[in-house]
Amino acid sequence: MSWGTELWDQFDNLDKHTQWGIDFLEKYAKFVKERIEIEQNYAKQLRNLVKKYCPKRSPKDEEPRFTSCIAFFNILNELNDYAGQREVVAEEMGHRVYGELMRYSHDLKTERKMHLQEGRKAQQYLDMCWKQMDNSKKKFERECREAEKAQQSYERLDNDTNATKADVEKAKQQLNLRTHMADENKNEYAAQLQNFNGEQHKHYYIVIPQIYKQLQEMDERRTIKLSECYKGFADSERKVIPIISKCLEGMILAAKSVDEHRDSQLVIDCFKSGFEPPGDFPFEDYSQNIYRTISDGTISTPKQEGMRIDTKTTVGKAKGKLWLFGKKPKGPALEDFSHLPPEQRRKKLQQRIDELNRELQKETDQKDALIKMKDVYEKNPQMGDPSSLQPKLTETMSNMDRLRMEIHKNEAWLSEVEGKVAARSDRRHSSDINHLVTQGRESPEGSYTDDANQEVRGPPQQHAHPNEFDDEFEDDDPLPAIGHCKAIYPFDGHNEGTLAMKEGEILYIIEEDKGDGWTRARRHNGEEGYVPTSYIDVTLEKNSKGS
């Protein structure tokens, strides 16, 4: 199966076919180029997508490290690696396939041009031989016709009795001349014919088969090159499949690493306030005052009623004041984070202590470096003046002392918080204990409230002049106790009208909470004042009496 023998007369078609082969090669190269662009754009879009959804936070602004978030970030990292593999595919295709195709296409065009030029030259030479043979043939044919005419003329004159001998002799000479020239042209034609036949045989059996064979080999090499490029096109992606599989496996592992229980615990750790839930509302028996008045045989009830403070008026006066149980006004956070719930306060304090320890370590390292440098300067004065380091060393020591004081102060706050949280966690309340704590009222460690309409409150304020009340207290008997309470938390009682108490202290209740979060109590020594209702466990006893 050879083009030279099977397609010896199809030079033009072979010309078109080889050109089509090169065009097809370049068409495939264009396809590969566009595929490379797709891979590059795909990788770029994937990287942009990863960049868009990657967390953009500073080290100081850490967000909750939920397992679902961590898994998503790991998936983004794997996707970024996957995008890198798409870039590898594009690079491999560009180098191994597209670049190779373009170089081969250039070489192929040069080789094809050379073979076709050789084929055209061979055809031109054969055409030239054919023209020479055809010219000699025509010349021989013409001389034969002239000789035939001379023969006819000679025979006519020879048979003509009226023709002179000279005319006959002249015709005979002309016949001989034409016959001789015809013989010469015959020999020339025979030689040209023999030469042409030889060249034609050589052309169709040697030259053209050789040229067509080279064209066939060239076309077959083109086909082989396309086959190799097809394989390279697939291999470029197959090489990265193991890495892509690892990326996908990493995504699956990230998905399996999601732990819903751990995330739930993180939510608790992140938002836990450390407060206890409010207790049950007590039954408010307003008839107790009537029964107590009758049993006591006194008329102290009107006095007690006179001592009751108008809740609305009290709340109105308390607006704008920073009481312990009110909502903190918007403004800068307190240094000890007392505006936060206990658990969050503990976390913030612990974070600050860790940061201060890191800063202290840096200052300590800097101090050691300065001391070493100072020693070097003292031993080698030419390297520097040791006294020039003293201001920096003094400043570093001062910073270290300041940081130690800050750490000590924050550790004291942390110990206070941790002690209260531990005590609170150990305390368990019975279901029959009534806590006069309204929903949203703050617990001892802060002033956080869920009720946006609840204003800051303090102990009930007296509306009459103090002297008037002093006269009444001096003239009248103390109010009877309607129950007793136990202090759950210590209360300082710095504000006027409040009563300080210690944790676990037993007090008498002489006036119930009127809805403002304060209960009036009395010590055994007769000292009276208001205490936060949420700080005490109240037990109302009908027959309880104060001293």
Residue 262 tokens read as 């751990």
pTM of the entire structure? Answer: 0.53
Look at residue 271 and tell me if it is in a domain: no
Task: Look at residue 274 and tell me if it is in a domain.
Answer: no
441 within 8 A of 336, measured Cβ to Cβ: no
Helix (H, G, I), strand (E, B) or coil at 2: coil
* CATH code of residue 91: 1.20.1270.60
Q: Quick one: 400 and 488 in the same domain?
A: no
Q: How far apart are CA 511 and CA 210, in angstroms?
A: 124
What's the CATH code of the domain at 525?
2.30.30.40
Question: Distance between CA 473 and CA 338 in Å, rounded?
Answer: 37
Q: Shortest CA distance to 74 belongs to which of 61, 55, 88?
A: 55
DSSP states of 180-213: HHHHHHHHHHHHHHHHHHHHHHHIIIIIHHHHHH
One-letter amino acid at 365 equals D
Total structural domains in the chain? 3
Predicted confidence band at 229 (pLDDT cuts at 50, 70, 90)?
A: very high
pLDDT at 474: 44
Same domain, 418 and 515: no
Judge if 168 and 30 occupy the same domain. yes
In a domain, 487, yes or no: yes
Q: What is the pLDDT of residues 258-302, one digit of tens each?
A: 999 998 888 888 777 777 777 788 877 777 666 555 544 444 444
Structure tokens at 516: 């403002």
Calculate ∠ Cα 230-232-233, nearest 5°: 65
Q: Can you give the residue range of the structural domain that contains 368?
A: 342-423
Contacting residues for 216 by C-beta, under 8 A, at least 6 apart: 2, 3, 4
Could you tell me if residue 470 is inside a domain? no
Same domain flag for 364 and 228: no
Helix axes 241-256, 67-92, angle to 10 degrees: 170
**Which is nearest to 8 in space by CA: 221, 211, 220, 199?**
211
The answer to whether position 108 is within a domain reads yes
Same structural domain, 257 and 113: yes
Cβ atoms of 7 and 208 within 8 Å: the answer is no
Handedness of CA 278, 282, 286, 288 (dihedral sign): negative
Query: Is there a domain that residue 337 lies in?
Result: no
Judgement on whether residues 418 and 488 belong to the same structural domain of the protein: no
Do 404 and 489 sit in the same domain of this protein? no
Q: Are 101 and 28 contained in the same domain? A: yes
Token pair belonging to 120 = 């055209």
Whether 384 and 515 map to the same domain: the answer is no
Are residues 381 and 238 located together in one domain of the fold?
no
Residue 417 domain flag? yes
Domain boundary among 229, 262, 295: 262
pLDDT value at position 35? 94
Domain boundary (423, 450, 474) is at 423
Per the CB < 8 A criterion, the answer to whether 99 and 48 are in contact is: no
What's the pLDDT band for 360 if we cut at 50, 70, 90?
Answer: very high
- Number of helices and strands in the chain (H, E): 14, 5
Domain termination residue (choose one: 262, 292, 314): 262
205 domain residue, yes or no: yes
3-state secondary structure of 508: strand
Sequence length of the chain is 547
User: Are residues 223 and 357 located together in one domain of the fold?
Assistant: no
Q: Mark whether 74 and 199 lie in a shared domain.
A: yes
Quick: pLDDT tens for 8-34.
888 889 899 999 999 999 999 999 999
